[in-house]
Structure 1
């Protein structure tokens, strides 16, 4: 491989204008594709085949007029009267009437005639004077199910948008669109204007729903990450020019990758977070891969015959490491598709595309840019920042000993102590992981300052916490005689009411289909959607189905947004171990090809597990437990963060393993002792790997400034994982473990050595190729002179 990459790098250097032109055409082409093919993004999380999805499909089949929970693009206003008052007072009724009038005029509103003040006699009326809708609900419960007047009134009140004290009420409107980003800017302005007008009348008004504008994901994070990367690159290269090449090529690669993802949104459903996650990964690896090759190019300039030859050698050696490092990231991200979770698959594949582009850019566009700069690539140098392999340092009378060399010598001198100490520290940090709680983001986990969270709290205050997450039970009564169905449905509702944490359960007139063979039970828990009690209620409902079916011949499914989120979280948790096994297994094989060893890949995998549990521990401590006071709103960890984090971090961890340990193996293969190989390899690579890690940490950590809780926690977790893995595992644990193992670290059974192909990451075959090439050139020169 190194030989082929050498030829590619040298050709790209020599044909710089052609290569740069091709990549610019690709960038423009992707821009055109993105502008013409882009489709809407989705904010819903669902998994085909989970029980709640099956129940929802049955609901839609029997009640075609009912939209899926994720497809109802709507807004809900939660209105509260001032303390000591209620909403029935004339001045507040006037304000609510004005709200209703304005809502009917919303741009793109669906069925405006159905939007009505719930207090008027034609609607729900008041708790003391039931309106027509409330009276019809009372009559339905009494006449259909034979309930007493009191029980009928209780059930009717449970379905009212007005709380018993008439201090809190809800108003809603739906839009004629199926995607949230299709709601117009005019509609968003109208939504806010309605709330503001009611607030001026003295009411407390908050909003929730899928039709609200989503928090904008600004470019500040990317700019901060790039800014820190520039500083790190200047320090690494000691040049005011060289830093620009990794940044330039990384931004071009990221642009192409993101435009490709945007174009793909016209064919596939992508979540709203997909582009930002692809940005985080694509930007970080794009800069890092270019950094490794440019650094190797500077080293090769000391011995190469020409700059083109140095570029070829850099791409042949560091480029080989880039290919395998990129492959591990791509494998880890693409393997997310194996767990069959569509939105997670889309995120993984989108990020994998940006990584693939970053690899191709580093191997082709970067050497072309090096050729464009020529002898000025490392110009405007800063003398006191010169690295050990810079031309000035290499020509110095007394070789400079780098801090990395001093550090690794200390590790190698006392490897057992360093190994045990690092493991103990990571173990202590990982301890909070035992309390890990997972949940999907909802209004209840949002920041307390947002109107969505305030609306959630108002509903819980006025109606009870369970009103924010009712469950839906779809009853199938096809096996019950027509004459017995209503009484059977009522008996089943009674069984459901007897379950723990059930506040109420009822069937309304609109919840029995025309054929009468299907009924929908709205189950109101006592607890909120994310509480353990509500999650247990979902399990209790499903566990009770067998007994209910035996007794009443009714089967059912449990759905609703809360049940869907619970099922998604469960599926994600169940997929974690299989996914980890697949990723680690594939990467282990790949690393055996790179290092020609069994124990080196094994230590790499075990080191990754240490860094990942430490990351989980730190994330739980900060975001879930609220330790150190860094989070004002501690909440359960987002359900898909662990599996996505494993995919990303494993790939990045193997990046550092490949870049750091390949130089150690290169020294060992060329005759150095096991310990000397560790010191020499570390000395060559530590500075660059540390710079790469610092860049990744800065890029990821900058995303903590975003308002989106998922992005914020993902940014922290990725930054923490890179820190633990790069600076603790790869720079302490791995050198210490290799020092303890000695020559055994590089052992590979002879039979396995014969089976595994030699991919020549160290460039040994490339060296032989270049040596033979030099001999041929010398013979040709002699022949010409003769």
Structure 2
């Protein structure tokens, strides 16, 4: 591999135009594919085969009008006063004409709904009054019949049965009619009582606030959440915002207004600026500092734009391209930096330009290929989770990293060949000396006491930072986490303040009923189920909303006491699912945002151990092959686990507990993004092994060349410390730029990656690992003889190449 990369580097440095044109053609193809194939991104997350998904599938079969996505349009007066009659009429007119919007199946007029509810309540009261009147009338009739029968009995005793037989037959007919009327009255009374009970249970469901200032317009879509196009959501927003109503503000729930976050914003520009400063300080030349950024931007453009070309064939969630940008920029800059840094050192020692480029590509480039392979393996392994959107995110990220590697070992050598010695600043060129190598301070092995203290302090610090991870809750962001000036945040806040927190976390509960029920029996079962659900402490209101044509499935709208991401709502979902069967053959199913959150979180928690096993197992094999050691890969993995849980702890402290929330511009806290632990595990493991590779390979090179094991540790640290420091700072800057994104999802990912790299690169790799390697001494490089014989020598440091092509 090293020899191949050496030749590739020399070829690129000679055929600069060919390489640059080739990459421009690739970029043009990617852009062309994007223009043809890009069909938009989705803001919905879901996993097939979950409990909530099964409920949706059942609804699609029997109650399709309730299986699609839905959202809320919130109308409120600007000054908090009650909506006027004119304003209500204008809202009603908008609602009446909204059915023609794309993929919209129904739009509910809140004022008509409240009027119908009032009418139902009046009908119940009127029915009860009429039943009371009828019962009084029938009681009076029964009293008259009883008196008539008494008189008839007296006449029969005096004149005989034959004489009064016609009168008795008449009275008995009247009694039969009266009894039938009483039975019918009782049936009506039962139905009325059941209806009144359901009406009472639904009392907490409102579409117009008590003060009349706010109204909720429910929009039902014909397509499920995952199939609903962003264009259809945007059409709803455009329609309701087009005709402004004087004195009325309009906002939209996240189901409608949660759009696609911007891929590149101000924060990312600031991150790149910080990275540029680090590069200038590290390389001492503006031209040299510009190269890694230019190559990284080209790689990101090709990887992300090319991946988006397939959005018409596979559904991509909105965060997918952002993750590609994050990784493409970070590793693209770092990988190019490693090669440039090696080339500059060789030039300073008097090497010929093209020979130095080839050698740098065969040594540092070889390490880049293995480091990139580790990251790609970790990202592609996301596909084994069985979560489609997560696997696709990993695949796109892996593509961007692979492109970054290819750019680093081809375009970087070409640009270095174009610049020649100008990659060094004037002062550096003046110091070029082929005869005298650059001398540095003599390296000494650290003391054992220092190693022990470093080990104890770093482990204690990491474990302390990890403590908050013990209380981690997983979920998906709701409207409360949206930007404070966004329409979705206003909708969430208004709904919570005017209708209660639970109105933002409505649950859809289904009940399967026995076969052969009449309409009256279905009503009885509905009341039975509704009462069983209402008996749970955290249920505010419940209302039946539909019954299937075969009377086998009924659906209920349930309003919990708190919002979709609250602990109580999550527990309510679990409690409802755990309820024993109500009577025989009645089973409940639960869907809704809170239920989906739970299903996604639990699914990801279940696959995380398998994912860790596969990623760590494959990466351990790669590291055993590279380092020819058993213990080095094991302690590298152990250090990663410490840094990973410290990252989890810091993320929980900021995004769930609210520590330093103002610093990061957070106005609310909530559960941690459900797929964040898996994403962080895969990406951070790959990046951690990158730094482990660049530091430990230097240690191994020194050890193989005869340095004592403990001295080799510090020689390796000295050789790689500067470039790893710069690379770590660059990654922290790039990832940190995304912390200030408007989208909470992007903020959490950016923070987790930035903090994880900071902890792993500067504490684990540069403090903890050297201390452990020192304490292990020669045993760190132990490898069974039988394994040593069968393992190929990959020579990731390029030692053999250096001997063959001595600078």
- Where do residues 165-244 of structure 1 align in structure 2 (5 Å cutoff)? 166-173=212-219, 179-183=228-232, 188-194=237-243, 197-198=244-245, 200-201=246-247, 203=248, 205-212=250-257, 214=259, 216-217=261-262, 218-244=264-290
Residue 13 of structure 1: aligned partner? 13
Q: Please list every run of 5 or more consecutive structure 2 residues that lacks an aligned counterpart in the other structure.
A: 131-186
Tell me, what secondary structure is at the counterpart of 1:236? helix
Between 1:437-446 and 1:269-278, the stretch displaced more is: 437-446
Residue 780 of structure 1: aligned partner? none
Quote the offset at 1:361 in angstroms. Answer: 0.9
CA radius of gyration, larger in: 2
Residue 539 of structure 2: aligned partner? 502
Quote the offset at 1:105 in angstroms. Answer: 5.8
Residue 312 of structure 1: aligned partner? 358
Tell me, what secondary structure is at the counterpart of 2:193? coil
Structure 2 residue 79 is the aligned partner of structure 1 residue 79: no
Residue 730 of structure 1: aligned partner? 765
Q: Would the alpha carbon gap of residues 254 and 118 (structure 1) be closer, same or farther in structure 2, given more than 3 Å must change?
A: closer
Structure 2 residue 498 is the aligned partner of structure 1 residue 453: no
Q: Would the alpha carbon gap of residues 68 and 441 (structure 1) be closer, same or farther in structure 2, given more than 3 Å must change?
A: same
Q: Would the alpha carbon gap of residues 382 and 409 (structure 1) be closer, same or farther in structure 2, given more than 3 Å must change?
A: farther
- Whether contact under 8 Å (1:52, 1:564) holds in the other structure is yes
Quote the offset at 1:467 in angstroms. Answer: 1.9
> What are the superposed Cα offsets for residues 219-276 of structure 1, whole Å, 9 maximum, x if unpaired?
3233222211211111111112111221111111111001111112121110011111
Quote the offset at 1:156 in angstroms. Answer: 5.6
- Whether contact under 8 Å (1:107, 1:187) holds in the other structure is no
Structure 2 residue 3 is the aligned partner of structure 1 residue 3: yes
Residue 779 of structure 1: aligned partner? none
Quote the offset at 1:674 in angstroms. Answer: 1.2
Distance in 1 between residues matched to 2:515 and 2:32, nearest whole Å = 57
- Matched pairs, number: 742
Q: Would the alpha carbon gap of residues 59 and 684 (structure 1) be closer, same or farther in structure 2, given more than 3 Å must change?
A: same
> What are the superposed Cα offsets for residues 305-364 of structure 1, whole Å, 9 maximum, x if unpaired?
632221121111111111111111111111111111111111111111100100111111
Quote the offset at 1:441 in angstroms. Answer: 0.6
Structure 2 residue 742 is the aligned partner of structure 1 residue 742: no
Tell me, what secondary structure is at the counterpart of 1:45? coil
- Whether contact under 8 Å (1:100, 1:115) holds in the other structure is no
- Where do residues 112-151 of structure 1 align in structure 2 (5 Å cutoff)? 115=107, 117-120=109-112, 123-125=113-115, 147-148=193-194, 150-151=196-197
TM-score by length of 2: 0.85
Residue 34 of structure 2: aligned partner? 34
Between 1:296-305 and 1:690-699, the stretch displaced more is: 296-305
Structure 2 residue 599 is the aligned partner of structure 1 residue 563: no
- Where do residues 427-576 of structure 1 align in structure 2 (5 Å cutoff)? 427-479=463-515, 481=517, 484-508=521-545, 511-545=546-580, 547-548=581-582, 551-576=583-608
- Whether contact under 8 Å (1:292, 1:688) holds in the other structure is yes
Quote the offset at 1:696 in angstroms. Answer: 0.4
Q: Would the alpha carbon gap of residues 691 and 112 (structure 1) be closer, same or farther in structure 2, given more than 3 Å must change?
A: closer
> What are the superposed Cα offsets for residues 583-613 of structure 1, whole Å, 9 maximum, x if unpaired?
1111111110110001111111011111111
Quote the offset at 1:475 in angstroms. Answer: 2.2
Q: Would the alpha carbon gap of residues 562 and 14 (structure 1) be closer, same or farther in structure 2, given more than 3 Å must change?
A: same
Structure 2 residue 341 is the aligned partner of structure 1 residue 295: yes
> What are the superposed Cα offsets for residues 568-591 of structure 1, whole Å, 9 maximum, x if unpaired?
111122222222222111111111
Distance in 1 between residues matched to 2:648 and 2:760, nearest whole Å = 13
Tell me, what secondary structure is at the counterpart of 2:511? strand
- Whether contact under 8 Å (1:439, 1:565) holds in the other structure is yes
Distance in 2 between residues matched to 1:282 and 1:135, nearest whole Å = 67
Aligned Cα root-mean-square deviation (Å): 3.2
Counterpart of 2:316 (choices 232, 250, 270) is 270
Tell me, what secondary structure is at the counterpart of 1:399? coil
- Where do residues 575-614 of structure 1 align in structure 2 (5 Å cutoff)? 575-614=607-646
Tell me, what secondary structure is at the counterpart of 1:504? strand
Residue 54 of structure 1: aligned partner? 54
Quote the offset at 1:148 in angstroms. Answer: 4.7
> What are the superposed Cα offsets for residues 274-304 of structure 1, whole Å, 9 maximum, x if unpaired?
1111100110000000000111112233567
Quote the offset at 1:517 in angstroms. Answer: 1.7
Between 1:269-278 and 1:459-468, the stretch displaced more is: 459-468
Between 1:209-218 and 1:102-111, the stretch displaced more is: 102-111
Distance in 1 between residues matched to 2:361 and 2:476, nearest whole Å = 43
Tell me, what secondary structure is at the counterpart of 1:552? coil
Distance in 1 between residues matched to 2:127 and 2:792, nearest whole Å = 75
Tell me, what secondary structure is at the counterpart of 1:457? helix
- Whether contact under 8 Å (1:569, 1:640) holds in the other structure is yes
Distance in 1 between residues matched to 2:124 and 2:431, nearest whole Å = 86
Structure 2 residue 410 is the aligned partner of structure 1 residue 364: yes
